A and B are shown apart, each in its own frame.
Chain A
Amino acid sequence: MKQQAATAGVLVAIAMAIAPLCAQAQKNARTAWGDPDISGAYAEFTTAPLERDAKFGDKEFFTPAEHEEFAKVRLTQAFDADDTEPGTQEDVHYSMGQFALSENEGVTSLNLRTSIVTQPKNGRIPPLTAAAVARRDALAATRKGKEFDGPEMRSLTERCILWPSTVAPILPRGYNSNLQIFQSPGYVIIQGEMGDPRVVPTDGRKLPDNLLPQWNGTSVGRWDGQTFVIETAGFHPQTAWRGATEKMRVTERITRLDEDTLEYAFTVTDPDTWAEPWGGVYPLTALGALLYEYACTEGNYGMANILSGARKGERETANP
């Protein structure tokens, strides 16, 4: 593990030295029908954490030297996280390192930013409003003691319904945090490796007011110069992304920076959950590989194991 981390650190350093030379090469690539070309398969992982460590204050960027040190520690932590305590829940999970599922065993984008979140200036997600805290606590109270009663009590991810790495706004998390983008005249299709393809029309149409609730929301897009801008609303109440309501609106901006890199920026608005809009930016780096089918529901042994484990535990408690 340590050896892998050291190797990764060296690769990061080499890539950082080369990156500027390649920049601009394909920045203005276009599709056959004239739209900016953002198609390809990309990794979402980046060295910047979602939120900034409070000790950095409003410092938005590392120096290259600081970044090298920071990235080394972060990569090492990711590998060390595979060493779990015997007897804990984490220890029962398969080893992320063993199955190449660790965050940093794929492509990890270099990022001098100290956090993905850039708005507000402190790089931290605004606190939940009092109403949002009350909602969260009420939901937790209704679930308390019933978390393992049936499949409907488990998380949307465990139920193969939704993933943070695919629903808007897209954030790197867990494993398989990759996406692919296809373009055709009038549409951009964004498909997270584990999630549903989002078919986004590019004709600039407005989101209607009477949207039916969708787990992934409904998206419309438009080209703003070289940038593809997506507006998404109409989320399902149970999507509840980070505790948000169905009134959440997301704006995403995707821009090609060079042949291998897109910039992904997002803003989230939901006054019922956060007092102010917040957002961030991070690079998407070309995978140089194909994405394969992720059949979640079809192979969801995890759900059966979770529930049968809970039943076994209950029997043992009842008949010690």
Chain B
Amino acid sequence: MSRILAVSVALLAACAANAQGVLTALPRAANGRPDMSGVWQALNTAHWNLEPHVSAYPVVIELGAQFAVPPGKGVVEGGTIPYLPEARAQRDQHFENRLTDDPEGKCYMGGVPRSTYMPYPFQILQNERDVVMVYQFATAFRRIFVDGKEEAPLDSWMGWSNGRWDGDTFVVEVTGLNGLTWLDRAGNYASGSAKITERYQLLGPNHLQYEATIDDSTVFSRPWTIRMPLYRLVDADPRFLEFKCEPYAEEKIYGHLRKPGTAAPVGASSQ
């Protein structure tokens, strides 16, 4: 009887695990931790807008359909971001001025969590002491101290990351963000007071569940969470090409300081 019970419990557990998409045979590093090494990319519209959104005109109408905003169901748990009233007005202001003000257009580092779901790949490399993340956009770089306890010594674009393994989930606490980054192209944002708690959980060899909780009482009425799968790029050479975006932002940032009568070298600086 007890044997039948045990088998039933095991079957139930397997069922439950399967229902969540969790496989038992995850790739593992030598120290037994799940091996997240590889190149990953989000495949959704979170970079356009974290909240649910229908399609929309491109920010410059001449760009036409190929640069229109595609629709998305959103990645925010519960649907909307719990802004304080004044902060929501600030977000709306960002949206109005997105053509000039979005840091992405200036080739600025995306910060956390935005860098994770920008439409560009990023590479994770890990050993027992450090997890390193290298992002294609703006060649942003993060060193995550495994079991690190150090406080952020100063504010920065990519913040200060201390990570730890919670079972098979890699949990990263990010502080020391400078508050100058946005969360998406719709102008959603958090301040420099934000604490971001990220959770990375392998669902299988090629899927990495990403979750980020944003805790910032100066902007939001409560902590809130985004969640999405990341997909492994399974190309033979898992490295990505460099994308130096500086040349493409120069005219936007410095064009007003150009010598009158000269023109931007459109095409000349491209790779």
Contact = CB atoms under 8 A, between A and B. Distances in A.
A159 B249 CA distance: 11
A201 B37 CA distance: 13
B258 interface: yes
B254 A307 contact: yes
Contact of B108 (A189, A199, A297): A297
B107 A297 contact: yes
A150 interface: yes
B125 interface: yes
Interface string A163-186: 000000000000000000011111
B259 A150 contact: yes
Given A150-B259, A199-B134, A311-B259, A293 B254 contact: no
B250 A197 contact: no
A187 interface: yes
Contacts of A304: 253-254, 257
Interface in A1-56: 31-33
Given A216-B242, A292-B153, A197 B141 contact: yes
Contact of A185 (B30, B143, B153, B251): B30
Interface in B185-217: none
A149 B258 contact: yes
Interface in B235-250: 237, 239, 241-242, 244, 246-247, 249-250
A182 B125 CA distance: 9
A147 to B, nearest CB: 10
A161 interface: yes
B40 to A, nearest CB: 14
A31 B125 CA distance: 14
B126 interface: yes
A284 to B, nearest CB: 18
B271 A212 contact: yes
16 contacts: A32-B30, A32-B128, A149-B262, A150-B259, A152-B269, A159-B246, A161-B247, A183-B127, A184-B125, A197-B132, A201-B237, A215-B244, A238-B269, A292-B154, A293-B141, A298-B109
Interface string A216-238: 10000000000000000000101
A199 B259 contact: no
Nearest to A236: B271
B254 A303 contact: yes
